[in-house]
Structure 1
């Protein structure tokens, strides 16, 4: 048990360090726009490029069963190093939009060997209490994702390239920690052969389908919310010019609060059940989407920020729970592949919602556009309602 606890801490720290690459460009988007003469809609395109790279990576990893055929910690390490190398490409002085999109694409591509592989490694160490363990792991992802915003906030007086240098160094460190300190888990069942049909066969299981579709609905909302959190804060400031907000630091707090929610959700799931906890979280985030237009009109800065923090918590609290349900309902020999497949499709969905919001922002300045994020949670809630709760 002590060894499991120590291993989990290493996995969590490694995941946190490596996933700091995910929103590295988002935290310095204004600097990138100014330095490379980009258009205002570059945020949506750069975010989608990372997502598309991640999708491509997870698709290839899943089809080739890489997570189940090779030593997971080694895959994690190699991916962390390669992702870091492409991240630092953002510093090239000759960059333009296309080159930046390519660097972000390949950063996302190799993140496919970090996030789902980290979950696979955790699943190899835990048969019981997996929901709680993945709560810590996804919490690390959340903090890693939010970190560039904090770095930008505290490095405001420093050159923006410091954010890229820092996140690159963190990823290399995280990869080394995983490779050196995390051996194969006791529940790992490696696949001995290539199974090209695994990508399709996993969805034959009804419980697996329900869990996956719930996750897909959650993903429609999640990354769009994260990507546009600074824009929401700026939109509120435009409505209330007398209020001055530290947008980078507040973005970190709002997104980062989800890390605590993942951990709390993991503990709560041990009391009320994994599926029920995921359902409640998805329902609450759906409500946040629907009522968001009215909160933007609030004259109280405290109410608005408290609302975004609450939204930032419930929008992610169900993520580790869905991953747990997916892992539990997948065949052990292709568990890593199943997690990677679901990640692949889920992140493909994020591109659609991000681009829709990005396009709508070009048509209107209204803050009502975030209501559209409720579509995913509504469909996810319907999917979860179609299977009995008692077995999961």
Structure 2
């Protein structure tokens, strides 16, 4: 932690950033958290329900590419970019309360939210890494933990909102507005980069030509295969399982378990980041994916059985599913030329979130056709394949440390 002590104000400023990140990212899975109430109010087909979450992913991809090509966070104060995007995202979420449930206008509003969140999460990362050089694995882990806690927040807010889904939406929008205000009170770090080469399309061929970058991309895509689908649909899957188990209030129990599963995963991002700085990013990422894939299959096998077993395994899955996330971008940054790393990380993120749009949209449709156990087991395929990519990358970095 020496790097923390050498940068005056890092704790207070990063704390403000973390709180702002949690507030703004609480908007991401609002539609998934309130889905039971929405479907009771208006009968939603599985594909329509999926679109309310998929639209956020598509919006995020478009926003990330537009902001990267424009170089927005390099041209302007990133704190203001973060604040404006968080505030617009809050407003686009708030309008859900007055739009027809499941309508095209609600789907467009969710896409606008996703577009604006591209000015929150990646920009927050840029602000965070300006505070340290040597402990970036740790500090990126802290920000991913904040992202995860924010993603868990809608399930907690839904418990507070009760049967009125509009209360949940208003609370989430309020948290994002508070986050927009908090980020304006922090300072930029001593290593903040005020200039960047921006998005370089010619760099994208390195994603295939460079073996270390290619393996880092492969691991990230295998990770994203399950991550956002898990976050979006674990509450719905648990509710179905708990109903078969005979629980009196399966939806309430599912939300509670989903909240803890996602939130505890965020808490483990910090020690995982510190461990990655010590023993290697590829080793930590591979270990997390092995556990995550195993718990995905275990959750599928426990489906409909004793509720406490399914809940326990799902929480363990939630703990394992996210701590590796920060390390894939760091692996690209380590393996790519410094003037190409930003473009490659943008491309990596865009590919990953496009994949999540596919898995999120298909999950409820496949669940209706084949059942949630099949879908949950399929979630585990990605990380188990990713283990091999990380094994090869760890071996490559060990035998050729300059690559």
TM-score of the two chains, using structure 1 as the length reference: 0.91
Report deviation, 1:321: 1.9
Report deviation, 1:361: 1.5
Corresponding residue of 1:43: 49
Would you say the 8 A contact 2:63–2:114 is kept in 1? yes
Corresponding residue of 2:273: 266
Instruction: Give the Cα separation in 2 of the matches to 1:259 and 1:333.
Output: 31
Answer yes or no: is 1:385 the counterpart of 2:376: no
Corresponding residue of 2:228: 223
Would you say the 8 A contact 1:276–1:389 is kept in 2? no
Q: Secondary structure at the match of 2:26?
A: helix
Corresponding residue of 1:325: 331
Would you say the 8 A contact 2:204–2:347 is kept in 1? no
Would you say the 8 A contact 1:83–1:111 is kept in 2? yes
Would you say the 8 A contact 2:127–2:192 is kept in 1? no
Greater relative contact order structure (CA < 8 Å, 6+ sep)? 1
Answer yes or no: is 1:253 the counterpart of 2:260: yes
State which of 17, 28, 31 in structure 2 corresponds to 1:25.
31
Instruction: Give the Cα separation in 1 of the matches to 2:18 and 2:344.
Output: 21
Unaligned runs of 5+ in 2: 1-6
Within-5 A mapping of 1:117-266: 117-156=123-162, 159-183=164-188, 185-191=190-196, 195-197=199-201, 200=204, 203=207, 204-242=209-247, 244-245=249-250, 246-266=253-273
Would you say the 8 A contact 2:52–2:106 is kept in 1? yes
State which of 88, 92, 96 in structure 1 corresponds to 2:98.
92
Q: Superposition RMSD on alpha carbons, in Å?
A: 2.4
Report deviation, 1:223: 0.7
Corresponding residue of 2:302: 295
Would you say the 8 A contact 1:11–1:118 is kept in 2? yes
Would you say the 8 A contact 1:292–1:368 is kept in 2? no
State which of 321, 344, 352 in structure 2 corresponds to 1:346.
352
Report deviation, 1:382: 2.9
Give the count of matched residue pairs. 389
Report deviation, 1:296: 1.9
Corresponding residue of 1:357: 363
Would you say the 8 A contact 1:293–1:368 is kept in 2? yes
